[in-house]
Amino acid sequence: MRLHRSFRLAALAALLISYTVCVRAAAIEFDAATISDLNRAFEANTLTSEQLVQQCLARIEAYDDNGPKLNAVITLNPKALEIARALDAERKSKGPRSPLHGIPVLLKDNYDTFDMPTTGGSVMLENWVPPDDAYVVKKLRDAGAIVLGKLNLSEFASGAAHSSLGGQTLNPHDPTRTPSGSSGGTGAAIAAAYAPLGLGTDTGGSIRGPATANGIVGLKPTHGLMSRDGIIPLSLTFDTGGPMARSVYDIAVSLGVMTGVDPADPATQKSKGKAATDYTQFLKADALKGARIGIARDFLGADADVDWVIESALESMRKAGATVVDVRYPKWLLDSKQEFYSAIRNPEFAAQIGDYLAATGAGYPKNLEQLIASSTGVRSLRADGAGPNPIRWTLFKKEAEAGKLDDYRYLSVRDHALPMVRMVVEGLLAAEKLDAIVYPTSPRRPALIAQAQPQPDTASATNIANLTGFPDLIVPAGFTTDDLPVGISFFGPAFSEPKLLALGYSFEQATHVRRLPVHTPALPDQAVTMP
């Protein structure tokens, strides 16, 4: 009898142990795993970097090369698996370099990489390999991140989500819709879980438009927080790089790795004493409690579905303890912001692209005039899909005619209008005692590709962040009735990234609306096993 009872007790104990192991070894969907989750799996030996890279490559093969053929990737790093294996060995022998050790990263193809071409999406820079990495790319590699590949973009970071080298990028939520530009390849790739982390660039909304259109998180940092050295310029007064990911945590953990004063980029001097190396410390789920949030109602009213999602988001903030107040921008700013933007952006590209092109090798254009001349020789599609990009190339001529950097039209805006805009926004934030201003990142749902407008949407507020140089964090807010994502922007004063990340994280944790696009579903056996 005692033996029988002992057997039953032993069986019960084994069952409890088995149950405990099953509970502890929970699985997280591949697209939902944060970089923190991946590091826990690395530490528990349930995942290696090599396996993670293999899973990312499998998704690229399934959805970029096949399936919906999103056309987000221009170049893959042929040594990615070799690098991952080396980093796995290093982890075992020395431990991780940083939270990004062994994490795959995808780069918009206007970031210099010493081991892969940097083309800006243009057939005119095809196969151009820079001599070294962009500053932030080197920082990522030094932290142990793996550059998995380079992504499609609006050519030279302007125009529709199309390039002469990479063609049209598709939106994984609806391939007939634009992924927005100019970081459309990064937006689509990160939404489709090609990698946990991507980098975009933003001059007038080019991180934030693709973040909202593809239903992911994106940050346009304060101008000067991240170095632009080694990034093909569009307009250095406005240009900044920034991270794009599927969670606010991943934005925070990657941002800290990339900050730093760079002697090659004078703008980074502004960040001295104001940058952090660990932004995850600011992430608090209750950050909305007691916060004072302004809703910029000037940017509602263009799409009833978008408006409904934003109103729902505001209600979630109120329930989390925030006070929400209406704010309005001065009419003169709303009427003038696009003119101010164009007065800087167009002449600066004409001047600054030549400085970048001067370093390219023999046979490549060396200035805007040579780009224009080269473009006239491309008249039809090649077998690989590369071909003319008339919308962007027509813009070349407008840029060439925009005047010089000593022109009164340029100087008056740079020296007087931009400081005036900064003062107005700072005054609005202070007068209303706001922690942030929120607004629909795009006032309308993603347009059909056949109808997408390559020019900036004047109804959007995104370029106010560029005119001021202030940071803007985008977080998924919901979906329209036709299942298209809507993002909400958290906009604040210079170097307020800690506050914006805290608020965005709090909102994300209260709502959890991001999801894997229907056209890029989970692949078999890709869940991440957690300890």
Half-sphere exposure of 315 (CA within 13 A, CB side): 7
Residues annotated as part of the active site? 108, 182, 206
Please tell me the distance from the alpha carbon of residue 201 to that of residue 213, in angstroms, as a whole number. 16
- pLDDT at res. 82: 98
- pLDDT at res. 10: 38
Nearest residue to 210 (alpha-carbon basis) of 258, 254, 152, 261: 152
- pLDDT at res. 14: 39
- pLDDT at res. 223: 98
Ramachandran category for residue 438: left, alpha or beta (phi over 0 → left; psi -120 to 50 → alpha) = beta
- Asked whether the beta carbons of 358 and 232 are under 8 A apart, the reply is no
Can you read off the two tokens belonging to residue 49? 């970097």
Question: How many residues does the structure list for the chain?
Answer: 531
- pLDDT at res. 5: 36
Can you read off the two tokens belonging to residue 330? 């001065």
What are the residue ranges spanned by the domains of the chain?
34-529
Residue position matching structure tokens 């709502």 = 511
Please tell me the distance from the alpha carbon of residue 117 to that of residue 109, in angstroms, as a whole number. 8
Report the C-alpha dihedral over residues 287, 198, 118, 383, rounded to 10 degrees: -140
**CATH class of the 34-529 domain in this structure:** alpha beta
Instruction: Name 214's Cβ contacts closer than 8 Å, sequence gap at least 6.
Output: 171, 172, 173, 179, 180, 187, 188, 190, 191, 485, 517
Nearest residue to 306 (alpha-carbon basis) of 190, 212, 177: 212
Please tell me the distance from the alpha carbon of residue 106 to that of residue 146, in angstroms, as a whole number. 9
Please tell me the distance from the alpha carbon of residue 277 to that of residue 35, in angstroms, as a whole number. 16
Amino acid identity at 453? Q
Amino acid identity at 224? G
Cis status, amide bond into 98, omega within 30 of 0: no
Nearest residue to 405 (alpha-carbon basis) of 367, 350, 468: 350
Can you read off the two tokens belonging to residue 510? 């209260």
Please tell me the distance from the alpha carbon of residue 237 to that of residue 415, in angstroms, as a whole number. 11
Instruction: Name 435's Cβ contacts closer than 8 Å, sequence gap at least 6.
Output: 291, 292, 293, 492, 499, 503
Can you read off the two tokens belonging to residue 255? 């941002």
Instruction: Name 458's Cβ contacts closer than 8 Å, sequence gap at least 6.
Output: 337, 338
Its pTM stands at 0.95
* β 240-245/162-163 pair status: unpaired
CA-to-CA dists, residue 244 to 160, 208, 255, angstroms: 19, 9, 10
Please tell me the distance from the alpha carbon of residue 437 to that of residue 58, in angstroms, as a whole number. 40
Tens digits of pLDDT across the chain (531 residues): 333 333 333 333 433 333 333 334 589 999 999 999 999 999 999 999 999 999 999 999 999 999 999 999 999 999 999 999 999 999 999 999 999 999 999 999 999 999 999 999 999 999 999 999 999 999 999 999 999 999 999 999 999 999 999 999 999 999 999 999 999 999 999 999 999 999 999 999 999 999 999 999 999 999 999 999 999 999 999 999 999 999 999 999 999 999 999 999 999 999 999 999 999 999 999 999 999 999 999 999 999 999 999 999 999 999 999 999 999 999 999 999 999 999 999 999 999 999 999 999 899 999 999 999 999 999 999 999 999 999 999 999 999 999 999 999 999 999 999 999 999 999 999 999 999 999 999 999 999 999 865 555 667 899 999 999 999 999 999 999 999 999 999 999 999 999 999 999 999 999 999 999 999 999 999 999 999
DSSP character string of 30-85: GGG--HHHHHHHHHTTS--HHHHHHHHHHHHIIIIISTT----EEEE-TTHHHHHH
- Asked whether the beta carbons of 498 and 276 are under 8 A apart, the reply is yes
The torsion angles phi and psi of 296, rounded to 5 degrees, stand at -80, 90
Please measure the distance between the N-terminal and C-terminal CA atoms of the chain and give it in whole angstroms: 39
- pLDDT at res. 459: 77
Please tell me the distance from the alpha carbon of residue 204 to that of residue 345, in angstroms, as a whole number. 9
According to DSSP, residue 61 is labeled I
Please tell me the distance from the alpha carbon of residue 62 to that of residue 70, in angstroms, as a whole number. 10
- pLDDT at res. 3: 33
CA-to-CA dists, residue 503 to 113, 178, 255, 351, 510, angstroms: 34, 28, 16, 39, 11
